[in-house]
Amino acid sequence: MSASAIREDDQATTALRSKVTTTKKKKKARRPSPRRSRWLPYLLLLPAVIMELLIHIVPMLVGIWMSFIKLTKIYIANWSAAPWAGFQNYAIAVDFDASIGAALLQSFFVTAAFSLLALGISWGLGMAAAVALQQPFRGRGLVRTIFLVPYALPAYAGILTWNFMLQRDTGLVNHVLVDNLHLTGDRPFWLLGGNAFASIVTVAVWRLWPFAFLSLMAGLQSIPSDLYEAAAVDGAGNLRQWRHITLPSLRPVNLVLILVLFLWTFNDFNTPYVLFGNGQPAGGDLISFHIYNASFLTWNFGIGSAMSVLLLLFLFVVTAAYLLITRERNTTPKAASKPAPKAPARTEDSHA
């Protein structure tokens, strides 16, 4: 333990020194044209800022405005004529005793369960695969490539293929399960009823885990192998090495990865939309899909926007809480300047 800690400190100091030197050199080189360097970064940022405004911020603000007007079919050709609705759309959306609110709440629970499962399984698979491919071996590149295939495929093509595979009469899944393996007598439906939940979790995991794998693999690359060697000398087994070296070193990766996976799964629209098409099975009624259907079914975009704003608020609160909690935990071990042995356990907690 102590040997590895010292070694790491040494390394850190050397790295720091070289960094400081390079920064100084860079500063010197830039000095001749301070005016240009002051504006250049903003200029470079400008296209991104404009696009961000156009693609994200403006539509979001329009969406918020829409949630406060009675934007039904009668007004969609001329939005400005739509009467002000105040919080009426919100009141309908959160009236859980009435059918619209109850359906939204139900969809929220389905989405929460889906999100947790898809995130957990994707992360677990990604971590397992990344660790398995950490040591070089013959054909590692090939295996890596194969693992990344679902990520490289266009989402629609991939999900549509799943849709074909999960058909009851003509699908590959039932062909294998029922015709070849004779596991069930009756052909189950995978895109209708309760099985739809299992289907959508499977498809989402299939799509997402390569991303977890990719991120974790990238993270693993930068853990120096001496750490593992030192730990092995100290008698730590694989599991212990993973817990005390891999996990804490991957903490920054995991912080971002888990947040991103959560947001993607909770917001997932493509998967249910392509997988279920016009069907909307209760088990696969994810919230984005639900809101889309609620809006387009009756052309009631005011209420759809109100639901979207509620979803946005929820995700915002969760993300803010997540960032706050993880930052607090981040600062404590840093103040101690040495990775405390307890840190890994905490990191692990946050995955649950």
Partner 1 sequence: MRLRSLSRFTVAAITVPAIALGAAACSSSSGGSSSGSDTGSGGSGTTLTYWASNQAPSLDKDKEVLTPVLAQFTQQTGIKVNLEVIGWNDLQTRIQTAITSNSGPDVLNIGNTWAASLQATGAFMPYDSAAFTAIGGKEKFVKPAMDTGGAPGQDPTSVPYLGLAYGLYYNKQMLKDAGIQPPTTWEEMVAAAQKLTNTAKSTYGFALAAGSYTENVHFAFINGSQNGGEWFDSAGKPTFTSDANVQGVLRYLNLMQKDKVVNASNAQYDNGTKAVNDFATKKVAMILNQNNADNSIQSNGMKSDEYGVVPFPAPTGGQKIATFIAGINMSIFKNTKNKDAALQFVKFMTSPETQKTLGKPFSSLPVLKGETPVFTDNPEEAKTFADIYANMSKPLPLVPGEDQFESTVGKAMNTMFAKIATGGTVSADDVKAALKDAQDQVAAAS
Q: Contact residues for partner 1 (CB under 8 A)?
A: 8, 11-12, 15-16, 19, 55, 72-74, 76-78, 92, 98-100, 103, 151, 154-155, 167-169, 187, 189, 191-195, 211, 214-215, 218-219, 221-222, 249, 251-253, 256-257, 260, 264, 269-270, 277-282, 293-294, 296-301, 303
Long-range contacts of 144-148 (CB under 8 A, 24+ apart): 144/217, 147/210, 147/213, 148/210, 148/213, 148/214
Between 82 and 121, CB nearer to partner 1: 82
In this complex, which beta carbon is closest to partner 1, that of residue 38 or of residue 108?
A: 108
| Percent helix / strand / coil, the chain, rounded to 5 | 75, 0, 25
CB of 32 to partner 1, least distance (A): 28
Closest approach of Cβ 232 to partner 1, in Å?
Answer: 19
Q: How far is the CB of 249 from partner 1 (least distance, A)?
A: 7
Taking the C-alpha atoms of residue 178 and residue 172, their distance in angstroms, rounded to an integer, is 10
Quick one: 100 or 143, whose CB is closer to partner 1?
100
Minimum CB distance to partner 1 smaller for 45 or for 98: 98
Question: Which alpha helices (H) appear in 222-286, and where do they start and end?
Answer: 225-233, 238-241, 247-249, 251-266, 270-276
CB of 120 to partner 1, least distance (A): 19
Shortest spacing between CB 30 and partner 1, in angstroms: 20
CA pair distance 191, 199, nearest whole angstrom: 7
Tokens at residue 185, please?
A: 């007598």
CB proximity list for 60: less than 8 A, separation 6 or greater? 312
Q: Which is nearer to partner 1, 120 or 188 (CB)?
A: 188
- Give me the phi and psi of 84, to 5 degrees please: -65, 135
